[in-house]
Amino acid sequence: MATGVLGGAASAAPYPVTTDVNTAIATGFSRPATTAPPGSNRPGCQDRTGRDPVILLHGTALNQDANLAYLAPTLANAGYCVFSLTYGQTSWSGNVGGLGDKDRSARQAATLMDRVLAATHARKVDFVGHSQGGAIAQLVSQLPGRAQHIDAIIGLSAPNRGFSRTGNITDRLPAAEREPGENDWGPRHPGIRYVNLATTFDEIVTPWQNSLMTPGADVTNTRVQDVCPTSQIGHLGMAFSPTVAALVRNSLDPGDRVPIPCGDDYPG
């Protein structure tokens, strides 16, 4: 993991965590798309343990504040340096992102990644992407010179199979034939850890197994129900779940694991 030499100290006060999904989305949509969720995009952030900076990517038809109002402050309160953006806006989508051409969205995320590396002096970043955000992170890794600066890509109900590689939200077509072990978003890269978190009750990525990858040395596939058997968490709830947040933290920093709680999660 990267050792970032950052300029400022982490805030002593905890960042407010939004646990109500509907409130988070309504509030996020009422604000400019440039509004970062609490704890994200802090100038001069310092991770005192030297962990990689974390870039969070929202899902389709959302924005950073609406989708990441739980995960961003949760990670920031755990001492991570968290960054985010709203990608994929169109001329007609207003404050809503994740609707534009995916390759263009990947370039937007790559620009943020370059800025984070320059600002933090870190060698690598970790990506955590919800839904389409996981696909965008993988597309970033296909851009020249980027894979070597990515430590982990963690997908939360991210579509790894069954979707077309480029185009906008109207292009949900079956993906072209790929080489065995290759995802819809291109080949995997040595040196990147791929963590895929899925739920049996996913109503967007169907079948839910499309959130998983072909097994490999650097691939970890986890279904929430294998950890919490009674969970009925749905696609949107993956970004607002204490269970998923703990799994994310353990994936970001396997050497400092936290307990994984099981409880009621947003089903939709």
Task: Give 99-150 as a DSSP string.
Answer: -S-HHHHHHHHHHHHHHHHHHH--S-EEEEEETHHHHHHHHHHTSTTTGGGE
In the chain, pLDDT over 70 holds for what percent of residues? 87
What the chain holds in terms of domains, given with CATH numbers, is 21-168+179-251 (3.40.50.1820)
- Position 165 scores a pLDDT of 42
Residue 163: its pLDDT value, please? 59
Name which of 83, 94, 85 is nearest 126 in CA terms.
83
Model pLDDT, residue 256: 94
Q: One-letter amino acid identity for 253?
A: D
Determine contact, residues 205/239, Cβ cutoff 8 Å. Answer: no
For residue 236, give the DSSP letter.
G
**What pLDDT, in 10s, does the model give residues 1-25?**
433 333 334 445 699 999 899 999 9
- Give 10-residue mean pLDDT values along the chain (268 residues): 36 82 95 97 92 98 98 97 97 95 96 97 97 97 97 97 51 41 80 98 95 94 97 96 98 96 86
The pLDDT, as a whole number, for residue 268 is 62
3-state secondary structure of 80: coil
Task: Output the pLDDT for position 162.
Answer: 76
Cα separation, 230 vs 212, in Å, equals: 20
User: Tell me, what's the pLDDT at 174?
Assistant: 36
The pLDDT tens digits for 241-265 are: 999 999 999 999 999 999 999 988 8
pLDDT of residue 136: 97
